[in-house]
Amino acid sequence: MFVPDQVVRTILHADADAFFASVEQRDDPALRDRPMVVGKGVVMAASYEARRHGIQGGMNGGRARQLCPGLVAVSPRFDAYVDASRQLFEVFRRHSPVVEGLSMEEAFLDVTGLERILGTPPEIARRLRAEVLDEVGLAVTVGVARTKTLAKMASRAAKPDGVLVVAADREGAFIEPLPVESLWGVGPSTAKALHELGVRTVGQIVTMPVSALATAVGRHAAEHLHAVALCRDARRVRANRSRRSIGSQSAFPRGSRTPPDVILGEVVDRVTRRMRKSSRIGRTVVLRLRFGDFKRATRSRTLRRATSAHATILLAAQSLLADAQPLIARRGLTLVGVAVTNIEPAGTGEQLELWAQRRAERLDAAVDQLRERFGNAVIARTPMLGREPRSPFQ
């Protein structure tokens, strides 16, 4: 017999405010209380002082300077953000055994049943914020509610540097007046489709039959929207979610002099390095392209077995790029990316392979050093275990 989950859960959504920008302001007092952004070409993060001038993430740097002439732009320091993120999650994990990270700077925490150990949810939220500020030096906003969607929207509404608890009997009052585009998961396209139905607020979604919503946004999205607008969202906080893909991409101006296959090599290098570092292998290679008109296309190929070998993944990516050559010749190319999906942890056999690859990399580096010292003529590489790579395709 189906037994519904009757437990009323309490979920926290904790989100560091303007993360990259706040780390920069924390580390450089000269940047504090000033409109500043991280990223010189494109705004990757904007401080709240910059946001007051209308500057947003993703915006072009020139436009941002136009909006705020005194704007300071700094280059990103990813190592510092990775470090801050690690500290942030250490604090999160002290406040709940079930922490689901959504990005470097935000997570859901399931605090159901922790009242006698850690206190009431508002108390947990207050202490979590105080500890992050004290230990990491960053402001975190926390939303508390019964479901993920409500917790996420509560923290959004409480930003910056705030807490919002949505009590079970206040859920409708909180969510219904909000515009549809404030719903987590509703972007420009879905918002437009809803507006065309005359639906502007979350409350209005409830008044629409699901079938009418479905004609505009598809059945699955319609059912999801309807449920979420009624504050029904049974998704649990899931700890230990493993990643589904590892990718990298590189954008360049149209007509760039560097040939695409050179860029492809660099991109594959970054991807396979990260795969090996995290002991993951993957089976599907996805080539991402963006053309001169900024429209996008993907091409993918699934290999016989999962791998993280640079040569295999490069070969697959090169062959996909060759297939797309007619398209590229016609439309021009402005971005090349490679993602590997169907990711799994490397098993014993693959661990050996990874070990061999790392050894080969070290050997290559040693050979390069010798060549530098003694010149090319002296050093000859004998092919090791001279096995020709077989076609990776099915």
Partner DNA sequence: TCTGGGGTCCTAGGACCC
Pick 95 or 152: Cβ nearer DNA: 152
Collapsing DSSP states into helix, strand and coil, what is residue 294? coil
For position 94 contacting DNA by CB under 7 A, the verdict is no
**Rounded to the nearest whole angstrom, what is the least distance from the CB of residue 144 to DNA in the complex?**
17
Nearest to 18 by CA among 53, 56, 54, 68: 56
250 binds DNA (CB under 7 A): yes
The stretch near DNA (CB under 7 A) out of 55-63, 113-121, 166-174, 345-353 is 55-63
Q: Which residues are catalytic?
A: 106
CB contact at 8 A, 51 and 30: no
> What are the φ/ψ torsions at residue 248 (nearest 5 degrees)?
-155, 155
CA distance 46 to 64: 10
Q: Establish if 230 lies at the interface with DNA (CB under 7 A).
A: no
62 contacts DNA (rule: CB under 7 A): yes
Task: Give phi and psi for 90, each to the nearest 5.
Answer: -60, -45
User: Could you say which of 317, 339, 346, 354 contacts DNA (CB under 7 A)?
Assistant: 339
Q: What is the DSSP string of 103-160?
A: ETTEEEEE-TT-HHHH--HHHHHHHHHHHHHHHT---EEEEEESSHHHHHHHHHHH-S
Q: Does 296 bind DNA (CB under 7 A)?
A: yes
- Nearest residue (CB) to DNA, 86 versus 244: 244
Binding segment toward DNA, per CB under 7 A, in 27-35, 38-46, 202-210, 360-368: 38-46
Name the minimum Å distance from CB 117 to DNA: 29
Residue 42 touching DNA (CB under 7 A):
yes
Question: Does residue 246 interact with DNA by CB under 7 A?
Answer: yes
Q: Beta strands 163-165 and 140-145: pairing type? A: parallel
Determine, following the binding rule CB under 7 A, whether residue 299 of this chain makes contact with DNA. Answer: yes
CB of 383 to DNA, least distance (A): 30
What's the closest the beta carbon of residue 186 comes to DNA, in angstroms? Answer: 5
SS3 for 210-230 is HHHHHHHHCHHHHHHHHHHHC
- Non-local (6+) Cβ contacts of 111 within 8 A are 10, 11, 12, 95, 96, 118, 121, 124
Q: Do the Cβ atoms of 73 and 121 come closer than 8 Å?
A: no
Smallest separation, CB 72 to DNA (Å): 18
Q: Is 102 in the site for DNA (CB under 7 A)?
A: yes
Torsion sign (Cα): 167, 169, 171, 173: negative
The answer to whether residue 274 forms part of the interface with DNA (CB under 7 A) is: yes
Please, what is the minimum distance in Å from the beta carbon of residue 247 to DNA?
4
- Distance, in Å, from the CA atom of 229 to the CA atom of 206, rounded to the nearest integer, reads 6
Closest to DNA by CB, 197 vs 221, is: 221
- Is residue 350 a contact point for DNA (CB under 7 A)? no
Close Cβ partners of 212 (under 8 Å, ≥ 6 residues apart): 197
Minimum distance, C-beta of residue 375 to DNA, in the bound complex (Å): 36
Cα separation of 364 and 380, whole Å? 12
248 contributes a contact to DNA by CB under 7 A = yes
For tokens 């704007």, the residue is 71
Assess 298 for contact with DNA (CB under 7 A). Answer: yes
Residue 348 within binding range of DNA, rule CB under 7 A: no
| Cα Rg of the chain (Å, integer) | 25
Rounded distance between C-alpha atoms, residue 369 and residue 197, angstroms = 67
Question: Is residue 294 near DNA by the rule CB under 7 A?
Answer: yes
From candidates 90, 103, 135, 170, binder to DNA by CB under 7 A: 103
Which segments of 141-290 does DSSP mark as H helices, in order?
A: 148-158, 171-175, 188-196, 202-207, 210-217, 219-229, 260-277
Least distance between DNA and beta carbon 109 (Å): 16
Select the span of 56-64, 120-128, 160-168, 255-263 touching DNA (CB under 7 A). Answer: 56-64
Window 184-223: residues binding DNA (CB under 7 A): 184-191, 218-221
> Which stretches of the chain bind DNA, using CB under 7 A?
19, 41-42, 44, 57-58, 60, 62-63, 66, 102-106, 152, 183-191, 218-221, 241, 243-251, 253, 270, 274, 283-284, 293-294, 296-302, 335, 337, 339, 341-342
